Amino acid sequence: MTVLVGREDLKNKECPIDETPVRGTGVFMRIIKLSESFYNKYKELPEILHKESRPYYCLELRINKTIYAIPLRHNISHQYAFHTLGKAGIDFSKAVIINDAKYVSPESPRIDSREWRVLNSNEDQIIKGFLQYLRLYRKAVKKTGIPKYDLIRKYSTLQYFEISE
């Protein structure tokens, strides 16, 4: 189930969500925009996406007690993504961890209705793909000196966050 967040929802420290997990998975999803507070804190980190000219909207996944924000992007040219329309989609390699509600903008994001339909009708596949990427990233952290894994670590934004098992 996907839920858009409203301004009133963000008054608490935790962003409330619908208490129904996606098809019994224990995972929750919604579309968010990261706040200026987030970008101010992480502006020096080169792999975190930020363009002054336009915001990055993200798919928020709550998996157990960890909140991930996975950006929606155009022209994704690698395999660590879920594609929605052509080369557009969500980029798993640029996912960040949200550890404070102030990092979520109170704005209610709007995305292309065709892209929304693809995301909304493929929740299970998105969750499965992101969990596979998390497993791959954890493996890459343990296997240094192997070029494939070195590239995964180098370009992943998860390198800036503590990942729970």
Tell me the per-residue pLDDT of 66-92, one tens digit each, with 9 for 90 and over.
Answer: 899 999 998 899 999 999 999 999 999
Q: What is the 3-state secondary structure (H, E, C) of 71-99?
A: EEECCCCCCCEEECCCCCEEEHHHCEECC
Of 63 and 21, the one with more pLDDT: 63
Give the chain's mean pLDDT: 80
pLDDT at 133: 96
d(C-alpha 51, C-alpha 40), whole Å: 12
Domain range list for the chain: 7-133
Whether 1 has a pLDDT exceeding 80, the answer reads no
Where does the pLDDT of residue 141 fall: very low under 50, low under 70, confident under 90, or very high at 90 and above?
very high
Whether 9 has a pLDDT exceeding 90, the answer reads no
Where does the pLDDT of residue 8 fall: very low under 50, low under 70, confident under 90, or very high at 90 and above?
very low
Q: Taking every pair of C-alpha atoms in the chain, what is the biggest distance, in angstroms?
A: 48
Residues forming a β-bridge with 72: 90
* CB contact at 8 A, 115 and 126: no
Phi, psi for 34 (deg, rounded to 5):
-75, 145
Rg (CA), the chain: 15
- In this predicted structure, which of 55-64, 112-121, 125-134 has the lowest mean pLDDT? 55-64
Could you give the 3-state DSSP secondary structure of residue 141? helix
Of 116 and 11, the one with more pLDDT: 116
Could you give the 3-state DSSP secondary structure of residue 33? strand
